[in-house]
């Protein structure tokens, strides 16, 4: 009796969603994939630091003060990248330092993206005074050069991990908020949104269930690009002495520590800097690949 209602026996071809197409495009891009693998390795390094680090990053041994890297005269293979002015193993400190950079990079971008997305959605969809208020705040925050804003905030709040995250989030949310607002302004005129409105869907449903999933990919792409920027900012703050405080190993403060010894121990500040460069470069390459894969109109 129900046979008439059964699905027709035509094989329905599986249609790939655009997201899957983008992921496939990204995976096919060898250069970006390599960079993404490097980023993953850095994350693993941060997570597994206690097991990977050959030595205690905080244990100083004054007999090994400024010991050169393994391949130089006076170097030892067990202290591969040499030691700093307190005789601490540089490689172990770099491995532990990745925790600071990655924690702050991820935390800042994550919080900023959530906050920025919500505010951008509200501004773009509700318009009116909500939009005016949010846009004004954005304009004012854009009036500050980023590093100067962060430096002033750190001077006010004092150093420390949570404070760096806060200081950077205070300005960082502006970036996703502007992207989201722009996307929402375009999306709210589209048919699917109009259709949702026509059937009487509540405002929050339209904002978060209809529009948000459709504008998510540019937001994700922008967030990954911003991660590189945030990591450099954190390193700069730590370099200036306004970031994570000693003895915690952070790449920026390691470079700062090494500055006094550039005459006879170049390795102290060189290697942490290479770690920053490598991580930031990989994030930049990977996020560029992500952007090209998700939004092919950009690739030229």
Partner 1 sequence: MNPLALVGRIAQLLPVLLGVSVIVFVMMALTPGDPVEIMLSGQQVTPEQVQAMRHDMGLDRPPLERFAVFLGNALTGDFGLSFFHRRPVVDVIAERLPATIELTLAALLIAIAISIPLGVAAAVHKNRLLDRLAAVGSLFGISLPGFWFGIILIILFAVHMQVLPVSGRMDYACEVAPFTRLMTIDSLLRGRPDCLADALSHLILPALTLALPMAAVLTRVQRAAMLEVLRSDYIVFAQAKGISRRRVLWRHALKNALVPTVTVAAIETGSLLGGNMVVETVFGWPGLGRLVVESIFVRNYPLVQAAVLFYAVTYVFLNFFADLLYTMLNPRVRL
By the rule CB under 8 A, 209 interacts with partner 1: no
By the rule CB under 8 A, 273 interacts with partner 1: yes
Write out the two tokens for 175.
């970036």
Residue 110: which residues within 8 A CB-CB, separation 6 or more?
Answer: none
Of the two residues 157 and 216, which places its CB atom closer to partner 1 in the complex? 157
- Calpha distance 43→46 (Å, rounded): 5
- Calpha distance 26→6 (Å, rounded): 39
Write out the two tokens for 115.
């906050």
Write out the two tokens for 132.
């005016």
CB of 146 to partner 1, least distance (A): 6
Tell which one of 8, 30, 128, 143 touches partner 1 (CB under 8 A). Answer: 143
In this chain, which stretch among 6-14, 17-25, 47-55, 155-163 interacts with partner 1, using CB under 8 A? Answer: 155-163
By the rule CB under 8 A, 263 interacts with partner 1: yes
* Other CB atoms within 10 A of residue 202 CB: 9
In this chain, which stretch among 37-45, 54-62, 153-161, 176-184 interacts with partner 1, using CB under 8 A? Answer: 153-161
CB of 147 to partner 1, least distance (A): 3
Contact indicator for 79, 64 with CB cutoff of 8 Å? yes
By the rule CB under 8 A, 16 interacts with partner 1: no
Tell which one of 57, 97, 116, 252 touches partner 1 (CB under 8 A). Answer: 252
* Exposure letters 28-44 (e unless 16+ CB within 10 A, then b): ebeebeebbebbeebee
Bridge partners of 21, per DSSP, are none
Residue ranges binding partner 1 (CB under 8 A): 136-137, 139-140, 142-149, 151-153, 155-156, 158, 228, 232, 235-236, 239-242, 252, 255-256, 258-259, 262-263, 266, 269-270, 272-273, 276-277, 280-281, 284-285, 288, 300
């Amino acid at each position: 009796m129900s046979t008439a209602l059964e699905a027709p026996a035509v094989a329905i071809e599986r249609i790939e969603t655009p997201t899957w197409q983008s992921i496939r495009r990204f995976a096919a891009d060898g250069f970006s994939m390599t960079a993404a693998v490097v980023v993953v390795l850095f994350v693993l390094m941060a997570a597994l630091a206690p097991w990977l680090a050959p030595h205690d990053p905080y244990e100083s041994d004054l007999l090994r003060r400024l010991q050169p890297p393994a391949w130089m005269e006076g170097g030892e293979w067990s202290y591969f990248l040499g030691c700093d002015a307190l005789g601490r193993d540089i490689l172990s400190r770099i491995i532990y330092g990745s925790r600071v950079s990655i924690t702050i990079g991820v935390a800042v971008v994550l919080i900023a993206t959530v906050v920025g997305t919500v505010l951008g959605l509200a501004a773009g969809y509700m318009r009116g005074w909500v939009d005016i208020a949010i846009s004004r705040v954005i304009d004012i925050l854009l009036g500050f050069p980023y590093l100067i804003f962060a430096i002033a905030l750190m001077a006010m709040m004092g150093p420390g991990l949570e404070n760096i995250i806060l200081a950077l989030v205070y300005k960082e949310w502006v970036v996703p908020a502007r992207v989201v607002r722009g996307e929402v302004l375009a999306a709210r005129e589209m048919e699917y949104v109009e259709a949702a409105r026509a059937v009487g869907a509540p405002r929050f449903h339209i904002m978060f269930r209809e529009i948000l999933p459709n504008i998510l990919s540019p937001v994700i792409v922008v967030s990954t690009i911003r991660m590189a920027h945030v990591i450099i900012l954190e390193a700069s703050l730590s370099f200036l002495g306004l970031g994570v405080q000693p003895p915690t190993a952070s790449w920026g403060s390691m470079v700062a520590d090494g500055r006094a010894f550039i005459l006879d121990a170049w390795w102290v500040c060189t290697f942490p800097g290479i770690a920053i460069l490598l991580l930031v470069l990989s994030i930049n390459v990977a996020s560029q690949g992500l952007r090209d894969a998700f939004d092919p109109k950009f690739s030229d």
